[in-house]
Amino acid sequence: MASKKVLTLVFVKEPGKILLGMKKRGFGQGRWNGFGGKVEKGETILEGAKRELLEESGVTANSLTKVGLINFEFEKDPVILEVHIFKTSDYNGSPMETEEMRPQWYTDDAIPFDKMWPDDHLWFPYMFSNRLFEAYFLFQGMDVIVSHWIKEVESL
């Protein structure tokens, strides 16, 4: 039986640029990504998203905007990752390096997709044009997308 793990992923956005973090350890190590992790028992998805952003980047989000929802499946792994993606331009604090992440600003036209999860370049255009989306990706290992779909949605 497939089980689900609920995770969050948050992008800090300024006009023309986006904050990414180099994952220094654990799942996705060596790749640039947003900030996030598992939602814990007793907290909402939004609370989990804000907590992980603060823990991993030192940034406090006052509000978060929904971006998309992706279900990731990995061949031969019964666990489905349900990742809730948000962005924020409404935050306090300056990004700082933590044990988990090394933050760095990138301009919107110079996103390092070759050093990110291979799904990202497929759905970043939705985020950048403010189109809400749902998506599914089936991975073989960490580098190969076997199948996927993405659709724009009215609400999440």
Which one of 9, 12, 22, 64 is in contact with ligand 6OG (CB under 6 A)? 9
- Whether residue 8 contacts residue 84, with contact meaning beta carbons closer than 8 Å, is answered with yes
Candidate ranges 4-12, 14-22, 59-67, 102-110; the one touching ligand 6OG (CB under 6 A)? 4-12
> Based on CB atoms, which residue is closest to ligand 6OG, 37 or 95?
37
Which one of 19, 39, 120, 133 is in contact with ligand 6OG (CB under 6 A)? 120
CA angle 12–14–64, rounded 5-degree value: 40
What amino acid is encoded at 40 in this protein?
Answer: E
Q: Footprint of ligand 6OG on this chain (CB under 6 A)?
A: 7-9, 26-28, 33, 36-38, 72, 81, 83, 117, 119-120, 139
